[in-house]
Amino acid sequence: MHYFRYKNNTLYAEEVSVASLAKQYGTPLYIYSARTLRRHIKAYTDALKGLPHIVCYAVKANSSAAILRLLGSMGAGADVVSGGELYRALRAGIPAQKVVFAGVGKTDEEIEYAIKKGILMFNIESLEEMENINRIAQRLGKRASVALRINPDIDPETHPYISTGLKKNKFGLPIERALEFYREASSMKNLRVVGIHKHIGSQITKVTPFVDALKRVMVLFDNLKQEGINIKYLDIGGGLGIQYNDENPPHPKELAKRIIPVIKGRDVTLIVEPGRSIVGNAGIFVTKVLYTKEGVDRRFIIVDGGMNDLLRPSLYNAYHHIIPVKRRRVKKVFADVVGPICESGDFLAKGRELPSVSRSDLLAVLSAGAYGFSMSSNYNSRPRPAEVLVDGNKHYLIRKRETLNDLIRGERIPEHLRG
């Protein structure tokens, strides 16, 4: 659910016309709806009401300072995967005690930074990482709180690039050997074992993989208890899907209904790490038609937004609805919507049925709030787009469009190459 709707055939973000935002801020442009963000966070907190819990928003989905601030102000914590994300979360006012840190390749500097800030826990992904965190904590004279990320070997039935909980994936520690790893962790003087973590993938549209994975983890949880290892935090990761096209993903309420009984009776705080389901449908990407042309066997709509701005179609062949900002009664055409980047893989849609458009028309790419701007780049030396947050009838620039100067910031030309 979101608040991007037509009124009199003109697309609105909440109470603000998208065309007026494009005019004021230019294109390509990301627009987010604050009301949608609030609604999505609330969906989780309401669903989990019966249980001590923390919603650790997955910062990678969209790491905008304003969005982090908004979510943090509603009580969200953060799931971070780098020192950079930790920095962003803390700067946005999210308390370190609500931050969990995942990722297979944490560097010494990142580990030290997180220990010094006193995060809730590291989600450890290998034995060597465990030893390293212990060593760094010892050097700092601290104890680091940790969870082990368990790979439950469950197929989330999603795109192979975003499935993470299978044996063949690089993530986590195999569940078969989990007990042994936990014993090891508990014996390390500068670690405090506080949690279990799992995350099986992203854009999951069924409840069953979550439940199956959780059941496996709960067996481990109970075994650990018998060994005297008490787990305070049960982190079940993120991954709940959203509707891009015709998917019918479960509501957090349905997920909660099925997982709460599996956890019941244990004295534990549940952590969830949703990213996409919070921001995905809270954002659109607005792009302007530059040209249209007829190829030999297809029509091309060339727009000013490309794969550097929104990579998902190119990288995953992901589907995003594309709709006109002004709805008119015109004939429909089949077309490839492509960007200006010099790569054949630069497209937003292929063979898509769209109302015919002409130069300067605006198109809105829906469900672009998650893994949109956060995966953008400067490829082809394109300044990255502006981002705007709409709240009711107000709108705020939350990130300036990059300038040509931004492109070369930090670059140096060695003296001997200067003329």
Query: Scanning residues 203 to 222, which ones bind ligand LLP (CB under 6 A)?
Result: 203
What distance lies between CA 133 and its chain's CA centroid? 26
Does 324 contact ligand LLP by CB under 6 A? Answer: no
Site track for ligand LLP across 364-383, x = CB under 6 A: ------xx------------
Q: Which of 156, 275, 369, 385 binds ligand LLP (CB under 6 A)?
A: 275
Min dist CB 312 to ligand LLP, Å, is: 5
The residue among 300 and 319 lying less far from ligand LLP, judged by its C-beta, is 319
Q: Which residues contact 261 (CB under 8 A, 6 or more apart)?
A: none
Size of the site for ligand LLP (CB under 6 A): 21
In angstroms, rounded to a whole number, what is the distance separating the alpha carbons of residues 140 and 107? 15
Query: Scanning residues 112 to 171, which ones bind ligand LLP (CB under 6 A)?
Result: 162
- Coil, strand or helix: which one is 73? helix
Does 276 contact ligand LLP by CB under 6 A? Answer: yes
| φ/ψ (deg, to 5) at 225 | -60, -45
Q: Which of 36, 134, 151, 202 binds ligand LLP (CB under 6 A)?
A: 202
Q: Which of 110, 125, 273, 391 binds ligand LLP (CB under 6 A)?
A: 273
Does 68 contact ligand LLP by CB under 6 A? Answer: no
In angstroms, rounded to a whole number, what is the distance separating the alpha carbons of residues 177 and 173? 7
Does 308 contact ligand LLP by CB under 6 A? Answer: no
What distance lies between CA 246 and its chain's CA centroid? 21
Q: Which residues of 62-83 are buried (b: 16+ CB within 10 A; e: fewer)?
A: bbbebbbebbbebebbbbbbbb
Does 102 contact ligand LLP by CB under 6 A? Answer: yes
Query: Scanning residues 182 to 201, which ones bind ligand LLP (CB under 6 A)?
Result: 199
Look at residues 54, 52, 55, 120 and name the one whose alpha carbon lies nearest to residue 86.
Answer: 120
Look at residues 370, 373, 372, 383 and name the one whose alpha carbon lies nearest to residue 409.
Answer: 383
Does 312 contact ligand LLP by CB under 6 A? Answer: yes
Applying CB under 6 A, the residues found at the interface with ligand LLP are: 58, 61, 79, 102, 162, 199, 202-203, 237-240, 273-277, 312, 316, 370-371
